[in-house]
Amino acid sequence: MTIANNEKKPVIFLMGPTASGKTDLAISLRQHLPVELISVDSTLVYRGMDIGTAKPSAAELAAAPHRLIDIRDPAEPYSVADFLADAEREIVDIHNSGKIPLLVGGTMLYFRALLDGLAEMPAADADVRAQIEREAEEFGWPYVHQQLAAVDPQTAAEIHPNHSQRLSRALEVYRVSGKTMSQLRELQHLQINAGNFSDRYDVCQLAIAPRDRAILHKRIELRFKTMLEKGLLAEVRALYERGDLHKDLPAIRAVGYRQVWDYFDGIWDYTQMTERGIIATRQLAKRQFTWLRGWSTSANTDLHWIFTETEQGISLTKEEIVRCALNFIGTRAI
């Protein structure tokens, strides 16, 4: 399989909610297609965070290397802009080697930034942010979410009422600039020139998920409890005892890590921590589904769903799931 120089080069997106089977499918596709994998995950970038991020095992990475894994220390924030620069570099490198980039992960913001670009946002304002945090302390983060929804319902719909960091930033952008994130993104989208991602690459978009949300919830519960059995507490304790990390860092705010961190802070007992970790992961999956539903209805998006069971509720085998993906990719002449 070769890539013609006079055509748009192919790129495959493989998206889906947490615990949906993205990694297994990506690794399997590598056995059938000349692809190299790029991780699209805001937590897999961090070193020393393996169990709680469901990072591919050493054996899996040896068989199917993932780019953009273990590239940051947890003390170093990793931004969307960082990802865009890193992903573009890796995509070019993979194409230059004659292969196809397969971007796999659940950080939907990263996928959207690739397709739509990164809007120019105003610089952070410490005074405005402090005021928002005082409001949250007095009235709660759901109140801040209501304030955001009043001025920017589109962005508010994408952010969970308890996601304090993103809520604070979205409201801060409006109070600093007088424009909402939605308005700034739309303005940026209108200014995209002919050199944007979709014009440069032929993007094949796949999403994998169960048809029945209850199946995913069971998977999430089982996976979180398995993480605890494999040593998640010890993993987070090592981070907790470093002394240079705190729970406001993006790495420590990751689902699962912040609940265990609160357990070490004495906020929750073990049972409460476990329940909250499972609930937080389910909420993450719900947000990911929300993004993907919006993606599916976008006028310029050709997203193909791969469901892991039939309409009658019969689970597909690993081979059947791979065949579904290959059938769609084949229709794109990749």
Q: Are residues 64 and 148 in the same domain?
A: no
Residue 4 included in any domain: no
Q: Are residues 312 and 218 in the same domain?
A: yes
Residue 49 included in any domain: yes
Range of the structural domain that residue 164 is part of: 126-189
Q: Are residues 143 and 274 in the same domain?
A: no
User: Count of domains in the chain?
Assistant: 2
Q: Which residues contact 160 (CB under 8 A, 6 or more apart)?
A: 283, 287
| Residue showing tokens 């987070």 | 236
Q: Are residues 54 and 102 in the same domain?
A: yes
pLDDT tens-place values along the chain, 334 residues long: 444 455 799 999 999 999 999 999 999 999 999 999 999 999 999 999 999 999 999 999 999 999 999 999 999 988 888 899 999 999 999 999 999 999 999 999 899 889 877 667 788 888 888 899 999 999 999 999 999 999 988 888 888 887 888 899 999 998 988 888 888 877 665 554 434 888 889 999 999 999 999 999 999 999 999 999 999 999 999 999 999 999 878 899 999 999 999 999 999 999 999 999 999 999 999 999 988 988 877 645 689 999 999 999 999 999 999 999 999 998 665 5
Residue 2 included in any domain: no
- Cα dihedral 42→322→324→83 (10° resolution): 20
Q: Are residues 318 and 201 in the same domain?
A: yes
Q: Residue 141's domain is classified under what CATH number?
A: 1.10.20.140
Q: What is the pLDDT of residue 322?
A: 97
Q: Residue 228's domain is classified under what CATH number?
A: 3.40.50.300
- Cα dihedral 269→271→274→277 (10° resolution): -60
Select from 189, 205, 233 the last residue of a domain: 189
Tokens of residue 131, six digits: 């005021």
Q: Are residues 154 and 209 in the same domain?
A: no
Residue 1 included in any domain: no
